[in-house]
Every structure is written in C-alpha cells, then in structure tokens.
Amino acid sequence: MPQYTFIFGNHPVLSLAELCRVFAVGPGEVVSLYPTAVTLKLSLTKNEVLAHLPGLGGTTKICTPLPSVPDQDKENLVHVIVSWLQTIDNTGKLSVGFNYLGPHPLDLNEIAHLAKALVKLRYVLPVGGVHLSAAQITHNQLDNEKGFDLNIIETPTGYALCSTLAVQNVDFYHDRDEGRPLRPSDEGMMPLKLCQILLNLALHGKNPITVSAPLVLDPFCGSGTILQEAMLMGYQTVGSDISKDAINTAQANLIWFAKKFQKWIPLQANYALLTQPAQKIHQALGMEAVSAIVSEGFLGELFLRPPALEQIHHQNQQLIKLYHEVFVALRKVLRPEALIVMSLPYYLQSKVSLLELILDDIKQIGYNLESWFEEDLSARLSVLAIQQPTAYGSYIYSRPRQIIGREIIILSKT
C-alpha cells in the first residue's frame, strides 16, 4: 500500500485529526508519527491523494517518504541524502531545496555543502528560517522533474526524510481572505485554514452522511467565512445571525466570492442567509434538515486587555443561558448522523473555560462529546511534545497576543 508523509501546519493535533477524518485512517495505517508530520498508508493513487490538498487546512505539504536515518550523526544523514540523490535518473545538475523540522538546531548550510561535495547539485536554503516558502519552491523550480524539495524531520532517535510532492497554495488562501470586500474590524474572523479543518471534522464523521445534498449550517455566521469555505468544498450552506449588519456583510462577501471564484466552486454549492437568532433557528429550518453544523460561537464582549475574573464570571453567566437555548434548538435541526463542530470562548490568561461550565448541560440536552482520535492513536500522541486535547475532550486554538482563544468541540446526538 502506498505511503505518504503529510507535513503539519501550526496546530499538529488539528492537522492530524483532519487527516484521520478525511482519509478514514484505521488501525495500522499510521506508519510514523512525529510532532511535525505523519506518514500514512493509504490505498489511493498519488493523484487521488494530491487532489485533497486544496481542501486540507492543516497540511502544508504532501510528500513521498524516503529512507530514514537511524541516528543523529550528520555524516550518516548526508550519506542517506546522497544515496537517495544518486538513485535519481538525471543527466544534468539537480536542484535540491533543504527544509528542517525539529526542536533542536541543524545547520542546513553545512548539510547541503557536504552533500554537494559528493554529488552534482545546486542547493536552495530557506531565507530567515528553516522552511522554504511555496514561492521559493516554485521560483527555484523545485517542483519539476529536475528539482526536489527535501524535508528533514527530527525523530527521537534520528531523522526521517521525505520529498515534497505538492505544497499548500498560500496565494489562493490570500486571495480568498484579503480580497473580501467587507472585513469588520470588531469581529475576530476565523482563519480560512481553521474553517477548512472544522468543516472536514464535521463532514467526515464515523457515521456516513446519508443525503445526496448535505446542508451545512453556521448559526453564528458573522461575515460568512465558514460559508464560503463550505461552498468551495461543494456543500449547500445556510448562515444565520441575529445581526442584520452581519447578514448584509456576509451577503456582500458571498456575492463577491461566488463571482470571483466561480470556476473553483462546484455547481451544486449555494448559500442562503437568515436574520435569525441561533436559539430560534429551528423555527426557520426543517426538523433534522442539517448534515453538519460548523460555527464560531458567540464570544461575548471582545476585550482590549485581559479581563478580570469578575468580568469573565459576569459574561459567562449570560453565555450559559444563551448556549443552553442554542444547543436545544440546534439538536432539533440536526440529522441523526450529523456532527456539530464549534468553537467556544476560552480566556487564555486566566484559563477559564465556558465549556467546563456548560458541559453537563450539553450532555443533558442530548449530546455526546466526541473523541478526536481512536484510543491507540491517542496513546501515541501522548508521548509527543505537542499540545494535546483537554481533559474535556476539547482543543484550545489560539494565536499570539490573543485574549480569548477558541475551545473547539465535536458533538454528536445521543
């Protein structure tokens, strides 16, 4: 069975969870797992695997695994790299880009220089970091038959090597994000890659979706970011928001998106927008009409500086009531096999979790909190030096200088 190495983005747990859902990864199909990458056995052709990359928010590269290095001796590392390069049928000079993924320093210039002394090549090194950008890979023609993008991954005992097959198209993300006509400054918009991850978690659950035209709902749609990414994946979407201004913003953005990216949006994809509070969404949609709910929940007041515990407590008391009503309403529109993937507010400095306060209520309403991974994979994850899901089965997503993080949960109906 073919093997492929997937290089993670900035949140390895989210990246791995997305891959496991999209490719329905079973026991024994995780060949190697590192803090920065995973190698999977997949019964798919190279083209079939690469076709998934534009829709994988958590994967920066898809690669072919190469022979590994059993220790961290530099000479052995160079020997394995040179041995691989000598197997390539090429009469001219090879172009090789060098990347490094690991917690400990590695002098890529030294490694590349030692390799060049043994085999005819032109090497390309990262500028100001340890990873080549997608622009560097393309500009230096490392993505054709005479160019190779080599990734050196530190392991507990040595190095894993892989050669890049395809790179995430960062320009396409930029165009879909920065080009939007309306970007409210008072709204913490969800990053597009995170939108993709959450959609994939929701739409590739253990129980297959049984309808031919799945409907995706975002009951706190804001400016429509999740809706546009769901459309790009080919889904019918409905967005609702209590704010008329938010709906007008989403409408303008989605009209722009549907026109500008028409050739990339599957024909069956569409959207509808409703000015409706989330706790009354069942009054506008049919019972069990929705195949997935993906949303950034209402965060409450957006603070300019970390709030005091009294402020957090006051705000959470209001949110507890709101979310009780919201989850009651969402359960009515959710199909039996469907999932909810939602982010809730998490105060980073004080480590106060709204989920902790409402978890028992969520269960009483009629939901299960889904685990992110099968038990055997969770055990393998626990030994890696990366952020893990919380004791409540959630994952905290944050970026530098944020005050309120996103606590991501996956829910199914009991």
Residue 296, pLDDT score: 96
Look up residue 274 and give its two tokens. Answer: 């409703």
Q: Beta-carbon neighbour count of residue 275 at 10 Å?
A: 14
Question: Which tens digit of pLDDT belongs to each residue from 51-62?
Answer: 999 999 999 999
- Which amino acid is present at 320? I
Q: How sure is the predictor about 91, in pLDDT bands with cuts at 50, 70 and 90?
A: low
Residues in the chain: 414
Residues 295, 380: one domain? yes
CATH of the domain at 46: 3.30.2130.30
Q: How many CA atoms lie within 13 A of 156 on its CB side?
A: 6
Question: Which tens digit of pLDDT belongs to each residue from 198-247?
Answer: 999 999 988 878 788 899 999 999 999 999 999 999 999 999 999 999 99
Residue 178 lies in a domain: no
Residues 138, 204: one domain? no
Angle of helix 12-22 relative to helix 192-203, nearest 10 degrees, comes to 40
Q: Which of 168, 200, 217 is the last residue of a domain?
A: 168
Residues 208, 328: one domain? yes
Residues 233, 344: one domain? yes
Residues 98, 216: one domain? no
Residue 125 lies in a domain: yes
d(CA 92, CA 122): 11
Question: Which tens digit of pLDDT belongs to each residue from 126-156?
Answer: 987 789 988 889 888 898 777 999 999 999 8
Arithmetic mean of pLDDT over the chain: 93
Residue 4, pLDDT score: 98
Residues 293, 378: one domain? yes
DSSP assignment of 318-373 equals: HHHHHHHHHHHHHHHHEEEEEEEEEEEEEETTTTEEHHHHHHHHHHHHTEEE--SS
Between strands 30-33 and 37-41, the pairing is antiparallel
Per-residue pLDDT for 328 more than 90?
yes
CATH of the domain at 396: 3.40.50.150
CB 44 within 8 A of CB 19: no
Mean pLDDT of 351-374: 96
Residue 176 lies in a domain: no
Q: How sure is the predictor about 27, in pLDDT bands with cuts at 50, 70 and 90?
A: confident
Mean pLDDT of 372-398: 87
Between strands 215-218 and 236-241, the pairing is parallel
Residue 332, pLDDT score: 97
Comparing 146 with 37, which gets the higher pLDDT? 37
The domain tally of the chain equals 2
Residue 381 lies in a domain: yes
d(CA 204, CA 142): 33
Residues 107, 206: one domain? no
Mean pLDDT of 163-183: 93
Question: Domain range spanning residue 350?
Answer: 183-413
Per-residue pLDDT for 10 more than 80?
yes
d(CA 391, CA 369): 11
3-state DSSP percent of the chain in helix, strand and coil, to 5? 35, 25, 40
d(CA 405, CA 48): 35
- List, in order, residues 6 or more apart from 192 with CB less than 8 Å away: 57, 173, 176, 177, 225, 229
Residue 174 lies in a domain: no
Q: What are phi and psi of 100, to 5 degrees?
A: -135, 135
Residue 175 lies in a domain: no
Residue 327, pLDDT score: 98
Residues 311, 373: one domain? yes
Residue 159, pLDDT score: 97
DSSP state of 83: H
Mean pLDDT of 379-384: 84
Residues 299, 338: one domain? yes
Per-residue pLDDT for 89 more than 80?
no
Residue 90, pLDDT score: 64
CB 214 within 8 A of CB 236: yes
Residue 177 lies in a domain: no
Residues 164, 188: one domain? no
Nearest to 60 by CA among 121, 137, 115: 137
Residues 308, 374: one domain? yes
Is 0.85 topped by the overall pTM? yes
Mean pLDDT of 338-360: 96
Question: Which tens digit of pLDDT belongs to each residue from 179-189?
Answer: 899 987 666 68
Residue 173 lies in a domain: no
Q: Which of 137, 168, 199 is the last residue of a domain?
A: 168
Per-residue pLDDT for 284 more than 70?
yes
CA–CA distance from 375 to each of 191, 227, 366, 368, 380 (Å)? 29, 32, 24, 17, 9
Residues 252, 350: one domain? yes
Mean pLDDT of 280-289: 93
Q: What percent of the chain has pLDDT over 90?
A: 79
